[in-house]
Amino acid sequence: MNVLVTGGSGFLGQEICRQLTDRGMRTSSLSRRPSPALKRLGVQQHLGDLTDPAAVSRAVAACDAVIHNAALAGVSGPPQPYWATNVVGTHHVIEQCRAHQVHTLIYTSTASVVFQPGGLEGANEDLPYPRRHLAAYTHTKAHAEALVLAAHSPELATVSLRPHIIWGPGDPHFVPALARAVRAGRLLMPGEGGNLIDTTHVRTAAHAHLLALDRLQQPQQAGGRAYFIGQGDPRSLREIALRFLQHAAGISARWCTVPPRLATAAAAASETYLRMTRSPRTHALSRLLVAELLHPHHFDLTAARHHLQFEPPIGFDDGLDELTRTTPPALDDSKESPCRKPTTSSVPS
């Protein structure tokens, strides 16, 4: 099987490519820039942008399956860039799969496509998209997911996977954002951090994509559906944040609570300022970020277990031990100011 991974140079994309090549599959990638890591894996690299249908066509040609992992991720920013990459780009992928008679399309979505204020506890795939999204990222990812699922047919089997908060060795998003939120040994976060959150180790997320690839060879049961993916082991935000800092960054920090109302007001003010200044920033303080830090979000994985035979290949605690073995020297934040302002970490959801 010849498999194309869009966004193969990214954090999750590289792990998907690694697992595919470990299986002996011919693997190619469509990314905007070359990747030395993919070169070492022997992955054929196509350079181009999802918004360019010709570039997508060249990459999709001669493939048997496509794992559409590329996206613009963020918690803030204007809608147009998200729409162009996440929606228009996904439309191009679907159209080129049809044009080149590709039979399998797996879409990397996010559990946040159904997130709503108040949080989600044990949510399953019957939960509809919210009527209003808190950010352009979740709105466009939901729209793109709907396009992929609507494209499911006897000629093109599709599935959408919804991992949440992907982490692991080399994580360029979640742990670095937490580290930036530490001031003088204090982690500045809204609320007390007791809300339960499930996360997804990068190997778990990639493993789910390969399971979906297998199941879609006989798509009668699994095709045309979305599936939540995670560790199936919700922990409190406080535990996750403090242990990730210790294991992945070598930082010992104390939780410093920012009042929820103050954090929410600061997020609203931040969004107003970003709109007025037409800022392109995708990782600024936002209502989506604060809401996901304040409320629970964990999911029922029954459908993935039943239809994909999914089980996490690595547990949460084993993943943390793995992070410890790759931890860099601790950051020196001794000159930072004490806890005094509503700063929160900014990570893709």
Q: What are phi and psi of 159, to 5 degrees?
A: -155, 155
Dist CA 163 CA 318 (whole Å): 19
Helix H, strand E, coil C: the string for 26-64 is EEEEEECCCCHHHHHHCCEEEECCCCCHHHHHHHHCCCC
Return the number of other C-beta atoms located less than 10 Å from residue 192's C-beta.
13
Q: Is 107 a catalytic residue?
A: no
Asked whether 198 and 349 are in contact (CB, 8 A), the reply is no
Q: Which whole-number Å values give the CA distances from 316 to 62, 71, 201, 320, in the listed order?
A: 38, 26, 8, 6
Q: Which residues pair with 104 in a beta bridge?
A: 65, 157
Dist CA 149 CA 157 (whole Å): 9
Dist CA 174 CA 177 (whole Å): 5
Give the sign of the dihedral formed by CA 112, CA 116, CA 118, CA 120. negative
Kind of pairing between the strands at 120-123 and 104-108:
unpaired
Dist CA 294 CA 260 (whole Å): 7
Q: Which residues pair with 182 in a beta bridge?
A: 187
Query: Of 174, 169, 137, 138, which is closest to residue 281 (Cα–Cα)?
Result: 137
Catalytic residue among 129, 137, 227, 273: 137
Dist CA 273 CA 282 (whole Å): 13
Encoded tokens for 100? 């080149």
- The set of catalytic residues is 137
